[in-house]
Amino acid sequence: MTVVDVAAAADISVTVVVSLLGIHSREWASVATAVYILSHLTERLSKKDRATVENFSWYILPTANPDGYNYTWQDDGKEMYR
């Protein structure tokens, strides 16, 4: 598993935002949401929003259950696996 750290600098005085997504195997939309959030935090920020984002340290784990996520994408009807 990979945790993405989006931070302007290593500063222990800033607030930390932790986002764990894809915890349940059928949560396909949450993994896509993680990618969307990351793209906005790293590539699409306006100057106005950049100051707000830089006041936090962002830790995003896009797929907390990679085995279950992969299992539900198999071709044998396991998309509703719990």
pLDDT 10s digits, 11-25? 667 788 888 888 887
> What percent of the chain is predicted at pLDDT more than 70?
82
According to DSSP, residue 73 is labeled T
* pTM of this structure: 0.70
The per-residue pLDDT for 62 is 87
Tens-digit pLDDT profile for residues 49-61: 887 788 888 888 8
Task: Identify whether 82 is part of a domain.
Answer: no
The number of domains in the chain is 1
**Can you tell me the distance from the alpha carbon of 60 to that of 6, in angstroms, rounded to the nearest whole number?**
8
Domain boundaries, position 47: 4-65
Contact by Cβ (8 Å): 19, 37: yes
Evaluate whether residue 77 is within a structural domain: no
